[in-house]
């Protein structure tokens, strides 16, 4: 048990401690954050693989007092150090992916180029390796009774976590905050692309009974019709529709109540930071105009808890790295709120 008698939560964050300046070890912490420094399949801006380190630094500026979720941090939040072998593998495969994406963007045929065939095979094998690594890391922690969170990295990173969560729950739902549907099948030929995470989850995880997407505003026809053909297993709240309902006098409360009613008892939050207004995350991988204020999402999560549903885990992904640390600053505060929500929901 961690002795907090000499810890001052009102003081400056101590860089010699762990995330948010908290003095917990992994053994004593109730909640463990698994950083995944991976961004092999990103299709626009890179940088998210290094977000965990930057968020850790920014977290020392986060105040621990939250009047709505008071003292949840006292149960212990701990973040593992990012695995440098995973980052090195990501960097190597990312260079291969850039060459591959450049090749196919010119309309060239992959099957006609042996080097590109090998490159695609290497990337897909790397993604399988990553999925298994994440599964093993998160399963081990869940088996120990820990609350577990994942910090990316791009949005492909939590797939192994979804599988580990599925083994612990008869059925669950994912509440996805995102600008994108992520329902593409093998986007750009990458079987486990960041743009395919929810397609793969729905196809491979039968325990996933409901996917509720909120804030979507950039998607293709294939994804739209896949959602429509899901018989209600995937429900999408498009940013445009939400805004128009608000413009015409509906309240955010009414829309949130409707969203929450679609969710099953066990809820996993998958938070792609590009679901927010890009003024809050300008260096995310694929920023899109529109989106939410962070407080609107906090209200949604609060209503999920107040409904009696249980939050069973979360991932936070696609936080960019910037010269002024703005993205990381916002990411650190969202991470703290999500840690507090997960802990409170399991108290």
Percent of the chain with pLDDT over 70: 100
Q: Which of 4-8, 110-114, 220-224, 315-319 has the lowest mean pLDDT?
A: 110-114
SS3 content of the chain, % helix, strand, coil (to 5): 45, 15, 40
| pLDDT in the model for residue 119 | 93
Q: At residue 164, does pLDDT exceed 80? A: yes
Q: Across all residues in the chain, what is the average pLDDT?
A: 95
What is residue 111's predicted lDDT score, i.e. its pLDDT? 84
Asked if the model's pLDDT at residue 56 lies above 90, the reply is: yes
Average pLDDT value for residue range 314-332: 94
What residues contact residue 42 under an 8 Å CB cut-off, 6+ apart?
Answer: 48, 94, 97, 154, 194, 285, 286
Tokens describing residue 304: 């999920």
Strand order in the sheet with 310-317: 77-79, 31-36, 147-152, 310-317, 266-272, 172-177, 208-216, 234-238
Which contiguous run of DSSP H or E holds residue 316? strand 310-317
The mean per-residue pLDDT over the stretch 32-36 comes to 98
Element (H, E) at 6: none
Q: How many CB atoms lie within 10 A of CB 118?
A: 12
Give the mean pLDDT of 56-75: 95
- Give the pLDDT band of residue 45 (cuts 50, 70, 90): confident
Does residue 43 register a pLDDT over 80?
Answer: no
Over residues 8-13, mean pLDDT: 92
Does residue 44 carry a pLDDT above 80? no
pLDDT of 46: 79
Reported as a pLDDT band with limits 50, 70 and 90, residue 117 is very high
Whether the pLDDT of residue 246 is over 80: the answer is: yes
pLDDT at 42 over 90: no
Please provide the DSSP assignment of 162-207 as one string: HHHHHHH-SSEEEEEE-SB----SSGGG-TT-GGGHHHHHHHH-TT
Q: What is the pLDDT of residue 285?
A: 87
Does the pLDDT value for residue 239 go beyond 90?
A: yes
Would you put residue 153 in left (φ > 0), alpha (ψ -120 to 50) or beta? left
Does the structural domain 19-345 have CATH classification 1.20.1050.140?
no
* Domain segments of the chain as ranges: 19-345
Q: Is the pLDDT reported for residue 224 higher than 80?
A: yes
Instruction: Measure Cα distances from 183 to 174, 178, 235 in Å.
Output: 14, 12, 12
316, 177 in Cβ contact below 8 A?
Answer: no
Q: So what's the pLDDT on residue 227?
A: 98
What is the pLDDT at residue 104? 86
Q: Give residue 109's pLDDT band: very low, low, confident or very high (50, 70, 90).
A: confident
What per-residue confidence (pLDDT) applies to 188? 87
Residues 168-220 have pLDDT tens digits of 988 999 999 999 999 999 988 899 999 999 999 999 999 999 999 999 999 99
Q: Is the pLDDT of residue 312 over 90?
A: yes
**Mean pLDDT on 234-242:** 98
Distance of CA 217 to the CA centre of its chain: 17
Burial of 247 (0-12, 13-18, 19+ CB in 10 A): exposed
Residues 206 and 168 sit within 8 Å (Cβ to Cβ): no
Closest CA to 341 of 234, 265, 268, 243: 268
Q: How far apart are CA 77 and CA 249, in angstroms?
A: 40
């Amino acid at each position: 048990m961690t002795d907090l008698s000499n810890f001052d939560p009102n003081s400056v964050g101590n860089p010699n401690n762990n995330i948010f300046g908290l003095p917990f070890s992994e053994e004593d912490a109730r909640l463990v954050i698994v950083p995944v420094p991976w961004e092999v399949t990103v299709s626009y801006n890179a940088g998210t693989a290094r977000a965990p380190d930057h968020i850790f630094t920014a977290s020392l500026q986060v105040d621990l007092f939250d009047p709505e979720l008071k003292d949840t941090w006292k149960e212990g939040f701990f973040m593992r150090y990012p695995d440098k072998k995973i980052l090195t593998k990501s960097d190597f495969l990312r260079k291969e992916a850039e060459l591959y994406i450049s090749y196919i963007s010119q309309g060239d045929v992959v099957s006609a180029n042996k080097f590109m065939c090998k490159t695609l095979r290497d990337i897909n094998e790397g993604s399988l390796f990553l999925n298994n690594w994440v599964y093993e890391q998160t399963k081990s922690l869940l088996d120990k009774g820990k609350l577990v969170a994942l910090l990316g990295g791009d949005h492909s990173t939590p797939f192994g976590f979804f599988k580990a969560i599925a083994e612990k729950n008869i059925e669950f739902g994912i509440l996805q905050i995102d600008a994108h549907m992520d329902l593409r099948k093998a986007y750009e030929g990458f079987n486990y692309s960041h743009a395919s995470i929810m397609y793969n989850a729905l196809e491979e995880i039968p325990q996933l009974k409901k996917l509720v997407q909120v804030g979507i505003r950039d998607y293709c026809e294939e994804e739209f019709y896949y959602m429509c053909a899901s018989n209600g297993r995937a429900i999408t709240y498009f940013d445009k529709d939400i805004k128009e309902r608000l413009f015409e006098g509906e309240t955010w409360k009414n829309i949130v109540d409707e969203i929450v009613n679609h969710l099953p008892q066990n809820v996993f939050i998958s938070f792609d930071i590009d679901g927010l207004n890009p003024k809050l995350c300008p260096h995310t991988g694929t920023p899109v105009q529109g989106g939410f204020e962070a407080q609107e999402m906090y209200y949604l999560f609060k209503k999920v808890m107040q409904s009696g549903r249980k939050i069973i885990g979360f991932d936070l992904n696609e936080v960019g790295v910037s010269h002024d640390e703005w993205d990381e600053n916002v990411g650190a505060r969202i991470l703290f709120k999500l840690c507090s929500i997960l802990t409170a929901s399991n108290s």
